[in-house]
Chain A
């Protein structure tokens, strides 16, 4: 499986990562090379094998919905790049 520049650019736009032309080319080659390593999995017949999502024997964990201690608003916004009062300021999402 090998990728071309357009596919790398599409991927980059999906994950919201800006890339330089040089990075696009490097990633194209490296990702193609890594994907090639995955071909080995085709040797295995996995028809009717149940997929494992987690290593433990997980069950859904529920708890009662009770009020408890939580962070203060000041703490929650303390690392935000831009704030206004108690709020986190963001750039306009909708155009006028």
Chain B
């Protein structure tokens, strides 16, 4: 039998339900694993052992009473920008280093209601801004496959903790690729749901029209299980969708015969690594042999998505982050009587360089004289990008692309070159712009590092994406590969 910390959610659930193991055993095994590897991986901002153990004991009682859910008693890490009542939530920023929320994010309270065991808060790029987890104010998270390389970002702590067996699964958030890209770089499964499917209440805002919470898991079955638990209308989020929740595990039929999968040529970009291209092409051939029809398609607006994103996201961020003024909560510079100076010093010392860069970029794009040329233009281009997707989804059920054009790169390589760093997200940004769901699944290796395949679908097509991803997973072994630490 596998070590307890290696179990997927569905494996652990089965063993817990049959009383072969207890949640206390499982939680202790994950804490021991954290003790072994965390010093090298650094995936956690905070480990919450004192919270987890009582939750594990309560979960064991719930299991004994016969009212367990598929998540009861199973350890999870939560990205450190989702509010957790009584547990500090930092956004990996000095600004919120000591911020202790007085309420739970809806996604968190849904997991806790299902009996999840909260093992800690995940490291990330500050406020979700970055693609390598190197923008954490505290420390970078390493890639468990090669500790000298980045874990991806911004949910790098989430993907690295799952890949290294510190937790069974994690919750991340995705504004431009922040669930899918680190999942791809660490060789795990990352799902970004349709905008509005999961409540954003208690998710500390970066770019409100793009942000979405989703699961990072060891396999596709687990992804469906977590999605089941966190979806649903929430009156506390005015953008929360109102349709009925459903059981996504029912989509995992293993049959994709007759599905039409589009391959957009624009996603096989210039500068893409050959090893990534080969792995994704092989995966597309595998999908064809599983019964899908592969259709070449074109999304000509793809090349405008990067510019569109880096106008819209910073614009929204400049407004959202205006709240950090050192008055109501967060870091506060006190060594002056001048209110303006206090604010400037608070924000100078509290924010890291990437956050400052995006606040200033967004403010520039929104300022009078430039509004039409930048912000309005980007919103119009957003319409064209959405229309492009709408058109191809009349021909195909889903799209298959690489998740990232490159495998995990060495730490330090791109951190001083924002333009190069932004280019990493070229395959994931358009999906947020259009509010679509997409999943990244492991599909091979290049340079000894994991490669991810991205499946993209129309709004609310999560069931189709999970079906295709699961079918591919059944036919391959990539998702079973784990780093040696």
Contacts and interface: CB of A to CB of B under 8 A. Distances in A.
Main secondary structure of the interface of A (DSSP, over half): loop
B374 A90 contact: no
Given A15-B318, A31-B364, A51 B338 contact: no
Interface residues of B, number: 73
Contact of B360 (A15, A18, A54, A88): A15
Interface string A47-75: 00111111110100101000000010001
Contact of B235 (A27, A46, A63, A71): A63
Interface stretch (B32-40, B63-71, B343-351): B343-351
Nearest to B370: A1
Interface in A66-89: 71, 75-76, 78-82, 88
Contacts of B353: 23, 26
Contacts of B303: 40
A20 to B, nearest CB: 8
Interface in A19-43: 19, 23, 26-27, 30-31, 33-35, 37-38, 40-41, 43
B96 to A, nearest CB: 9
Interface in B225-283: 235, 238-239, 241
A16 B347 CA distance: 7
Contact of A91 (B304, B306, B338): B338
Contacts of A27: 356-357, 360
A79 B100 contact: yes
A43 B300 CA distance: 12
A24 to B, nearest CB: 11
A80 B327 contact: yes
Contacts of B103: 71
Contact of B310 (A19, A38, A75, A81): A38
Interface residues of A, number: 49
B378 A41 contact: yes
Contacts, number: 160
Contact of A46 (B238, B318, B344, B380): B380
Nearest to B433: A55
B384 A46 contact: yes
Contacts of A15: 318, 322, 347, 359-360, 363
A55 B308 CA distance: 13
Given A44-B384, A49-B384, A50-B383, A56 B310 contact: no
Contacts of A35: 361, 364
The listed residue with most B CB atoms (<10 A of its CB), out of A8, A31, A53, A79, is: A79
A55 to B, nearest CB: 2
B110 interface: no
A1 B246 CA distance: 49
B382 to A, nearest CB: 4
B418 interface: yes
5 closest cross-chain pairs (CB), A and B: A55-B435, A51-B379, A79-B329, A81-B332, A18-B348
Interface of B: 99-100, 102-103, 195-196, 209-210, 235, 238-239, 241, 301, 303-304, 306-308, 310-311, 318, 322, 325-332, 334, 336-345, 347-348, 351, 353, 356-357, 359-361, 363-364, 367, 374, 376-384, 386, 418-419, 422, 432-436, 459
Interface of A: 3, 8, 11-12, 14-19, 23, 26-27, 30-31, 33-35, 37-38, 40-41, 43-44, 46, 49-56, 58, 61, 63, 71, 75-76, 78-82, 88, 90-93
6 contacts: A37-B310, A44-B384, A52-B383, A54-B239, A79-B330, A81-B326
